[in-house]
Amino acid sequence: MKKLFHLLSLLIFFNLYSQNIQTEFFINENQIEESFKSNSRIEKLYTQNSKDSILVVTEIKNDSLFSIYVKNNGQKDIQLIPQDNKLTLIQEALTPDKKWKPIEFWVNSDCGMSYLKEINVKSGEIISLNSKKYKGNFKTKIRFKLLINGKVYYSNSINASINKSKFEKSIWYNRFKEMYYPDKSESEVENILFLNK
């Protein structure tokens, strides 16, 4: 009950101050596009010959969103259990010293109602999701980090601009850390929230 109260408080506070999302380190809020249908243009985005069972490609959708396409490149169907119609995903960006660093984090819901819907992705099938595109005065590259069945997959990198403050852990990060992982070390929390599996 205490966790639920804290979570509701954070969400209300987030809605009141959502304009700060451009500058602050926050949770990824991707959404699966349920009506998405792939086409030949999207198929051509997958130019690499990879043996990975999952391929991830991103492109700019519009001024405020990225499109992320996830392809089942394996021979068998994959069962995904999204959390509130979201995949386990964060954005990373290149720092000024050219190192990939998270600019978002992921929090697993502890509510069973978040996992009611299962998605079957057939061999060769592509699904699409949207994720926030940030703005700022620091030109960099962005990529997406996706966790499926305990394995991490990365998208291509794409030119973008962010505020450098997106690299800094925010009050949001610290509140979720205290609420969900009070007994874990900082490195253990980072491994969980930054999808380091």
The predicted pLDDT at position 16 comes to 47
The predicted pLDDT at position 153 comes to 96
The reply to whether 124 falls in a domain is yes
The reply to whether 8 falls in a domain is no
Helix (H) or strand (E) holding 15: helix 2-16
The predicted pLDDT at position 15 comes to 57
The reply to whether 12 falls in a domain is no
Task: Answer yes or no: is pLDDT of 47 > 80.
Answer: no
Question: Tokens 């068998």 appear where?
Answer: 76
Rounded CA-CA distance 50/184 in Å is 36
For range 22-41, the mean pLDDT? 88
**Averaging pLDDT over each range in 35-49, 147-161, 171-185, which range is the top one?**
147-161
The reply to whether 76 falls in a domain is yes
Task: Answer yes or no: is pLDDT of 14 > 80.
Answer: no
What is the average pLDDT value for the chain, to the nearest integer? Answer: 88
Looking at residue 99, the DSSP 8-state letter turns out to be -
Q: How many domains does the chain have?
A: 1
Rounded CA-CA distance 30/59 in Å is 14
The reply to whether 2 falls in a domain is no
Confidence of residue 171 (pLDDT cuts 50, 70, 90): confident
Q: Quick count: other Cβ atoms within 10 Å of Cβ 69?
A: 21
Give residue 31's domain range: 21-193
Q: By three-state DSSP, how is residue 180 classified?
A: helix
Rounded CA-CA distance 125/22 in Å is 33
Closest CA to 130 of 46, 27, 40, 59: 59
Work out the angle at residue 127's Cα, subtended by the Cα atoms of residues 60 and 95, and round it to the nearest 5 degrees: 40
Question: Tokens 């009950």 appear where?
Answer: 1
Task: Answer yes or no: is pLDDT of 8 > 70.
Answer: no
The reply to whether 10 falls in a domain is no
The reply to whether 183 falls in a domain is yes
Task: Answer yes or no: is pLDDT of 137 > 90.
Answer: yes
The reply to whether 38 falls in a domain is yes
